Structure 1
Amino acid sequence: MIHSFKGAQNVLSLLSPQQQQQLLESGKTIKLVAHQTLFSKGEPATHFYLVKKGQLKIFRITPAGDEKVFNLFTPDSWIAEMAMFMPNPSYPMNAQSEVASEVLAVKRETLLGIIDNCPTLARALLGLMSTKIFSLVNNVDKLTFINASQRFVLHLGHLYQMQTGDEGKIKLQQPKHVLASQLNITPETFSRILRKLKSQQLIEEKGDTILLLDIEKLCAEVELTSDIFTR
């Protein structure tokens, strides 16, 4: 059985085991070849999707014609579930497979029917939506009022607090080009930030892992307080 409802910020984690099973059993499997479009921005949002195999990205095309990737989805990730609650739902972004992939498509009506029959679930959903809105407001603040180096170090602090394991080690959750896009940093600037912090012996980079060599000096370098790394 797929364990796909974990995570405090997942709408579907609020469902009971029986409701979760109902969703899974109602879905239809879709196979995608590499670089195949799952849905496009503006299309009616009739389904949401569980990634079973492969990897998909959600992205938008900027007015300049550049592709801005907002997130990558790997197996056990849900895509577009929040769009199901819009009055006249349409997909706010494009979704495309990065490699040969397989998803489970679940109808919007199935999820709404479950919620309509469970007032307790509806109240929990409102609480989760409020938390997400608060988080988005905080993200806007970070993108607006702090510089690129500070955004990167703040992100490291967030990951450090969320992850458990060896002290001083942080595993990045996305490829660097996706992370740069999420932090509103150009790839070139992101590379310069990494080079500078490494040359100052504040961090080391090993694949998708960042080693924190001196948290106090790292935070001082970007004018942040070291309590952002407190677990």
Structure 2
Amino acid sequence: MESFVLPAALRSKARPSQASPRASAATATKVQSGIKAEHWLQLLGGQAVADSEMRALTELVRLRPVVAAESVFRSQTRADHVIAVLDGVVGLGSIGPQGQFHLERSAHGPAWLDISSAWVGQGHTQDAQAMGPALLLELPVKSLRPLLHRYPDLQDRFMLALAQTVQSLTGATHDLMAKDAQKRLISWLLQRMAAPAGEVALRERKRELAAQLAITPETLSRLLRQLMAAGLIEVKGYSIKLLKLADLRALAQA
């Protein structure tokens, strides 16, 4: 049988972390133009934000551009802000004694990086580091708290965003404890699938996806080869097409 060559979309070197001139220009443009309505829509549980609420939030926002490998926050440092990535990718994990970053999961903007620590007055539970040029959003809880009292609907949206974050992390923890590597990969593919086409658009580099599934990049390559050989998936460029949904769901639940 021919050896399987992993498509460029899933190779570790497929998407270098160095900032390209085009990416740097895009980030600079976003800093100048500020946060947009669609950012709030995705950050606050898919609920539309009223103009008055958006203006009030925007007055509190601090936008911070970061470059590849720049620290976003460190574990155990005091958290005074809720923090999100608006554009780009930020990795969450731990920094080893020699300064090396161990990736556990990645967040593609717009997405929350830490929406909870500042509320409970504790330090961040993980280290966060930019995987490439990115734009961060920071909201000081000291100012955000009275704002949410003034806007009850906005408070509900933040509660929804927090609940969705907790639910996502709880589901990921359950999968790590209860499912083997193949089931975790299939579950991830099914969750990311765009209906009805049955395709998964790949945003993650191979290393990022493997870290999210708690497996090595080599194991990820092997599992993808197995699913392809079984006729369950087809890899094309930057997407994976799920061919036999019923069989994949059965494997994920077995």
* Both proteins in one fold, TM over 0.5: yes
| Aligned ranges 1:29-68 → 2 under 5 Å | 29-61=63-95, 67-68=102-103
The sequence identity of aligned pairs, in percent, is 23
Contact 1:83–1:90 under 8 Å retained in 2: yes
Work out the CA distance in 2 between the residues paired with 1:16 and 1:224.
Answer: 41
Contact 1:197–1:203 under 8 Å retained in 2: yes
Counterpart amino acid of residue 5 in structure 1: W
Give the number of aligned pairs.
Answer: 218
Work out the CA distance in 2 between the residues paired with 1:101 and 1:62.
Answer: 23
> By how many angstroms is 1:194 displaced?
0.5
| Aligned ranges 1:109-188 → 2 under 5 Å | 109-119=142-152, 121-122=154-155, 125-126=158-159, 129-130=162-163, 132-160=165-193, 163-164=194-195, 167-188=197-218
Using structure 1 for the length normalisation, give the TM-score: 0.76
Contact 1:50–1:79 under 8 Å retained in 2: yes
> By how many angstroms is 1:184 displaced?
2.1
**Structure-2 residue corresponding to 1:91:** 124
Structure 1 spans left out of the alignment, 5+ residues: 226-231
**Structure-2 residue corresponding to 1:197:** 227
> By how many angstroms is 1:36 displaced?
1.4
CA 1:62–1:144 in structure 2 vs 1: closer, same or farther (change >3 Å)?
farther
Counterpart amino acid of residue 183 in structure 1: L
Structure 2 spans left out of the alignment, 5+ residues: 1-34
Contact 1:57–1:98 under 8 Å retained in 2: yes
> By how many angstroms is 1:125 displaced?
4.7
Work out the CA distance in 2 between the residues paired with 1:104 and 1:135.
Answer: 21
CA 1:208–1:131 in structure 2 vs 1: closer, same or farther (change >3 Å)?
same
Q: Secondary structure at the match of 1:4?
A: helix
CA 1:202–1:14 in structure 2 vs 1: closer, same or farther (change >3 Å)?
same
Contact 2:187–2:252 under 8 Å retained in 1: no
Q: Select the structure with the greater relative contact order (CA < 8 A; seq sep ≥ 6).
A: 2
- Deviation readout 1:68-112 (Å, 9 max, x if unpaired): 3322333x44432333322x1322222222233343433222222
**Structure-1 residue corresponding to 2:240:** 210
> By how many angstroms is 1:141 displaced?
2.6
Runs of 4+ in 1 over 6 A off after TM superposition: 62-66
Work out the CA distance in 2 between the residues paired with 1:30 and 1:223.
Answer: 40
